[in-house]
């Protein structure tokens, strides 16, 4: 696997405002790399430096072995960037938009095939498209130059759950064609579902880079076990177990939190006391809980 993007100690200010303090990461060929963080964390500024749209104040960026500023023309051909919503004229038809954008590239993708693959109506005017269709069109435009890398910023913001899932399936299809994808998001579920690796960015700094599962492990996410005992139970028996961090009663339910040993340990206590666990539910915090734990901040 080869490295296609290298960002080393990137620093970027807008006047006095530090947007990106110190960001480093690498992206490997063929992966879906997520840049995840709360509003204002510096995600967009970081990818704009990768795209050559902003001049860093410090650090180094290399994309496909190119310097995004010096080699901007070649980079533009090889890196597809998602168009921000609402930038196309209302009266432009979908097919016209794709044909127009295809004409900007020396070796564009087949726009008719792209149109078909993305399920877009060629004859519809931009203004008449649904939110999901507009989003698919912006993805199509990011892919029209047949890029090696596609940078997708806030891919599914504003989409309903079904359109969001459709878009995710689409992105997996794009990756299957060999395109490396950089995905900027503040949706945990999206990162968890799509990304091979994720950089958590907070206040202009990388908190950690790992797989979604690795992030959850790192944060040593608590298990949460909830059940209704088949008969009265002395909760002190559970509270004294090693690994248990809390036992609470919620109506007739008992909620136990702790590390990954608690489920087995609680079950053993119940069995010893001939109690069965009714309405049993076990939950494990995912990436969202990891984020909160690693940054001590909630996502919007």
Q: Which residues bind ligand ATP (CB under 6 A)?
A: 14, 17, 19, 37, 39-45, 186
CB of 295 to ligand ATP, least distance (A): 13
Nearer to ligand ATP, 41 or 144 (CB): 41
Q: CB of residue 39 vs ligand ATP: minimum separation in angstroms?
A: 4
Closer residue to ligand ATP (CB): 200 or 216: 200
Q: How far is the CB of 97 from ligand ATP (least distance, A)?
A: 25
- b or e along 200-234 (b: 16 or more beta carbons within 10 Å of the residue's beta carbon)? bbbebbbbbbbebeebbeebebbbbbbbebeeebe
3-class secondary-structure state, position 175: helix
Q: At what angle do helices 131-143 and 161-176 cross, to 10 degrees?
A: 10
Output the smallest distance, CB 117 to ligand ATP, in A. Answer: 28
The least CB distance from residue 126 to ligand ATP, in Å, is 23
Edge-to-edge order in the sheet of strand 223-229 = 244-250, 253-258, 223-229, 277-284
Q: Which is nearer to ligand ATP, 40 or 131 (CB)?
A: 40
**Between 21 and 146, CB nearer to ligand ATP:** 21
CA distances from 268 to 171, 241, 260, 263, 273 (A): 44, 11, 14, 9, 9
Query: Under a CB-based contact definition with an 8 Å cutoff, are residues 216 and 285 in contact?
Result: yes
Between 194 and 263, whose beta carbon lies closer to ligand ATP? 194
């Amino acid at each position: 696997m080869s490295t296609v993007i290298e960002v080393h100690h990137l620093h970027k200010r807008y006047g006095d405002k530090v947007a990106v303090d110190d960001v480093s990461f690498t992206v490997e060929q063929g992966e879906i790399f997520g840049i995840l963080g709360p509003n204002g964390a510096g995600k967009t500024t970081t990818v704009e430096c990768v795209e050559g749209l902003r001049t860093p104040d410090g650090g180094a960026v290399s994309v496909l072995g190119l310097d995004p500023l010096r080699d901007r023309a070649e980079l533009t051909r090889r890196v597809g960037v998602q168009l921000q919503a609402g930038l196309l004229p209302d009266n432009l038809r979908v097919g016209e938009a794709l044909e127009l954008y295809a004409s900007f590239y020396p070796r564009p993708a087949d726009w008719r095939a792209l149109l078909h693959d993305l399920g877009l109506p060629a004859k519809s005017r931009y203004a008449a498209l649904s939110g999901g269709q507009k989003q698919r069109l912006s993805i199509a435009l990011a892919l029209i130059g047949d890029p090696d890398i596609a940078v997708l910023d806030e891919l599914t913001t504003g989409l309903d759950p079904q359109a969001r899932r459709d878009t995710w399936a689409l992105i997996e299809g794009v990756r299957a064609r060999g395109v490396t994808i950089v995905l900027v998001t503040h949706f945990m579920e999206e990162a968890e579902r799509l990304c091979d690796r994720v950089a958590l960015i907070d206040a202009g700094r990388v908190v950690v880079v790992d797989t979604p599962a690795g992030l959850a492990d790192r944060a040593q996410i608590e298990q949460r076990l909830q059940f209704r005992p088949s008969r009265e139970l002395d909760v002190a028996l559970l509270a004294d177990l090693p690994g248990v961090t809390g036992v609470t009663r919620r109506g007739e339910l008992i909620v136990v939190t702790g590390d990954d040993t608690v489920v087995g340990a609680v079950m053993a206590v119940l069995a010893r006391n001939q109690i069965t666990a009714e309405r049993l539910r076990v939950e494990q915090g995912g990436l969202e809980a990891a984020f909160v734990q690693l940054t001590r901040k909630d996502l919007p």
